[in-house]
Amino acid sequence: MITAKTLKLSLKSLKDFAKKRLPDETLIQLDERDECPLEIVRHMCDPDKLGIQLLFIPEEFGGMGGGAFDVYCVCEEMARIDLGIATAVLATFLGSDPITVGATAEQKKLWLSRIAEEGLLFAYGATEPEAGSDLGNLRTTADRIMQDGRVAGYKINGNKQWISNGGVADVCTVLANTPAGPSWFIVEKGAKGFTHDEPEDKHGIRLSNTAALALNDVYVDADRLIGGVEGQGLNQAQAVFGYTRLMVAAFGLGGGWAALDRAIPYSTKRIQAGAPLSEKQGYTHKLIVPHAARLEAARAYIEETALRIDAGSEGSLNTEGAIAKYMASEAGNAAAEASIQALGGYGYTHEYMVEKISRDVRITTIYEGTSEIMEMTISRDRWQLHLKTRGQHYHDQARVLEALDARHPEVGAGAAALALHALAEVMEKARLGRLTRYQHILLRLGELIAFAECAGSLARRAALMAEGKLEEKTSRRFDAAALAALSRVFAREAALKVAEEGLRWVAGAGGVSAAEMAPFENSLGLPAVHQAQAGLISDMDYVADVLYGRTTKRTVQAA
Ligand SMILES: Cc1cc2nc3c(=O)[nH]c(=O)nc-3n(C[C@H](O)[C@H](O)[C@H](O)COP(=O)(O)OP(=O)(O)OC[C@H]3O[C@@H](n4cnc5c(N)ncnc54)[C@H](O)[C@@H]3O)c2cc1C
């Protein structure tokens, strides 16, 4: 267990280290040279130095026993520093996950203790040239080597593609097909027949080493089969998705905020047409405010999911991990892209960093499952809930938010409830028209589900803040009034998006006849959703004032 105080101290050491060793000029040079700063990565993982890995290793193996919430906080901070380095450091966490969830007691003791004591760097070898989103298409094989009638070891043959730390890791976990199905193996650097290619020349995260791996008759002893039983590999990979996707979600969040936090101060100094850009509503309300709202909606969802994972009673929460990753990575990308625009010509150059952040954060919608795969995962799971509850799942959630709205009318719960009611109606119409036979409809539903659920989360987070009950470890950047305003901005967007885009896709797939259109529009609550937009501009004004630290000034002026 990590206390809030310890976590705060760890994050502070991380920030201090980055300030000293990774100033902008260094990051820009490394990015231009396409170089992974291995010495820095090792320093961060070294138990006698920063020892970031210690946070994630259970106490019984010499670590600090951090949970999903701690992981999210550290990942966000790492991503704010540099997403390439974050990927290099966190690859050990990802690479050792199959061990954490699936290994035998002896394997856990050996490998997790070695990570804690020696700062071993891991890589996670799942993807192959022909098996990306579809891991079932795995071609790497692990053939049994028999001795005296028992399995003494395995010979592994195959290729892995796009492996983070592939060229620098001390140990790699490798997914390979055994006679009983996909299984994870532990392969150490230097094993005969185990080689890697030159690092990939990538669009972003150029400070992270990404390399293809080749395994030619690589022999491993039987005790390198994680868990000691063949065929468990895909289940083990599934078991950690909730957790690992939350890490990438936090990367998206950190990357997005890193970009906005460069655009915000820039715009206070940049004078155009006689005043700073930060004073111009057409600038802030397009390029800054909506992105802050989406990022905070994603944060709310990440936090709820992390707390549920840490409570430990609900399984792996794969779908929730997918929603968190989808929202945070898409919001992070949009925020970084808008930040380039916010800096104009300067944003388009290397020197001002937002261009680099934008290239870096781009990876978060690709690795650990692409956004499209996230949409599919979300939609399929929630579709089952819709069917199981005879269409009531989201109506029920909406009613809970209506009750919250009665207690806290300021937190946007009413608009979030409108989004959830509309979602239930869209899904029901899709069921009646059997529209999920169209893959596009299925995936678009995934997007609408993510928006509606995140609106609910942000409203709940704002209410917790108002009640002084927010998790101690979390960011206090926004006070209760600011969080409520952010929530109202996002909930309005979610309600409008679900109702209007839902209508668009259902109608577009032939799910509404001319006669049914008016009643369907009514069932979506469109007039109420439109009415809920009232007050949006003044809320955006308020959020902009908060982001620019001028709430007191405005209040004084108003007085
Ligand atoms: C920098 C980097 C680091 C990485 N690190 C690691 C690592 O450490 N370990 C590891 O194992 N892997 C790693 N990956 C691999 C990454 O997880 C995969 O690239 C990713 O899962 C997508 O697989 P793919 O590249 O084969 O794309 P594909 O699966 O071919 O997808 C291409 C496009 O098609 C879409 N698509 C795919 N299937 C469908 C479908 N059924 N329906 C609709 N659309 C679909 C995708 O969303 C995507 O837009 C890394 C990748 C990169 C680029």
Is the predicted pLDDT of residue 556 greater than 50, yes or no? no
- List pLDDT tens digits, range 185-225: 999 999 999 999 999 999 999 999 999 999 999 999 999 99
Residue 30: its pLDDT value, please? Answer: 98
Name the pLDDT band for 316 (thresholds 50, 70, 90). confident
The b/e string for 179-196 (b: 16+ C-beta within 10 A; e otherwise) is eeebbbbbbeeebeebeb
CB atoms within 10 A of CB 149: 5
Higher pLDDT, 193 or 556: 193
Any ligand 1 atom below 6 A from CB of 100:
no
- Quote the CA–CA distance of 285 and 14 in Å, as a whole number: 33
CA 53 to chain centre: 19
From 89, 367, 440, 445, give the residue whose CB has the most ligand 1 atoms within 8 Å, as the site to mutate. 367
Determine whether the shortest distance from the Cβ of 366 to ligand 1 is under 6 A: yes
What is the per-residue pLDDT for 242?
80
368-412 pLDDT per residue, tens: 999 999 999 999 999 999 999 999 999 999 999 999 999 999 999
For ligand 1, the distance from its centroid to the CA atom of residue 26, given in whole angstroms, is 30
- Residue 238 confidence (pLDDT): 86
Q: Is 130 a catalytic residue?
A: no
Residue 241 pLDDT level (bands cut at 50, 70, 90): confident
- Confidence at residue 385, expressed as pLDDT on a 0 to 100 scale: 98
pLDDT of residue 557: 43
C-beta of 261 in contact with ligand 1 (< 6 A): no
pLDDT of residue 551: 85
Q: What whole-number distance in Å separates Cα of residue 410 and Cα of residue 11?
A: 32
Task: Tell me what pLDDT residue 172 has.
Answer: 98
pLDDT for residue 81: 98
Considering the candidates 76, 368, 375, 453, report the single residue annotated as catalytic. 368
pLDDT at 559 over 60: no
Q: What residue has token string 């006669």?
A: 515
What is the pLDDT confidence band of residue 558, given thresholds at 50, 70 and 90? very low
Determine if ligand 1 sits within 6 Å of the CB of residue 135: no
Least confident stretch, 54-58, 341-345, 550-554: 550-554
Of 101, 115, 124, the closest CA to residue 173 belongs to 124
Give the span between the Cα atoms of 539 and 290, in whole angstroms.
Answer: 11
On average, the pLDDT of the chain sits at: 96
Confidence of residue 552 (pLDDT cuts 50, 70, 90): low
Query: In angstroms, what is the span from residue 493 Cα to ligand 1's centroid?
Result: 29
Residue nearest to atom 6 of ligand 1 (CA): 163
State the pairing for strand pair 122-125/171-178: parallel
**Minimal-distance CA residue to ligand 1 atom 26:** 132
Task: Write out the two tokens for 508.
Answer: 């577009």
Whether the CB of 137 sits within 6 Å of ligand 1: no
Measure 329 CA to ligand 1 centroid, in angstroms: 15
Name the residue of 36, 94, 133 to mutate for ligand 1: max ligand atoms within 8 A of Cβ: 133
Report whether pLDDT(555) > 80: no
Single-letter residue type at 23: P
* Confidence category of residue 124, pLDDT binned at 50, 70, 90: very high
* Residue in 127, 171, 207, 248 to alter for ligand 1 test, most ligand atoms within 8 A of Cβ: 127
Position 237 scores a pLDDT of: 87
Nearest residue (CA) to ligand 1, atom 2: 162
**Residue with structure tokens 């140990």?**
171
pLDDT > 70: percent of the chain: 99
pLDDT one-digit tens code per residue, 41-99: 999 999 999 999 999 899 999 999 999 999 999 999 999 999 999 999 999 999 999 99
Look at residue 506 in the predicted model and tell me its pLDDT.
98
Is the shortest distance between the CB of 92 and ligand 1 below 6 Å?
Answer: no
What confidence tens digit (pLDDT) does each residue in 485-497 have? Answer: 999 999 999 999 9
> 260-308 pLDDT, tens per residue?
999 999 999 999 999 999 999 999 999 999 999 999 999 999 999 999 9
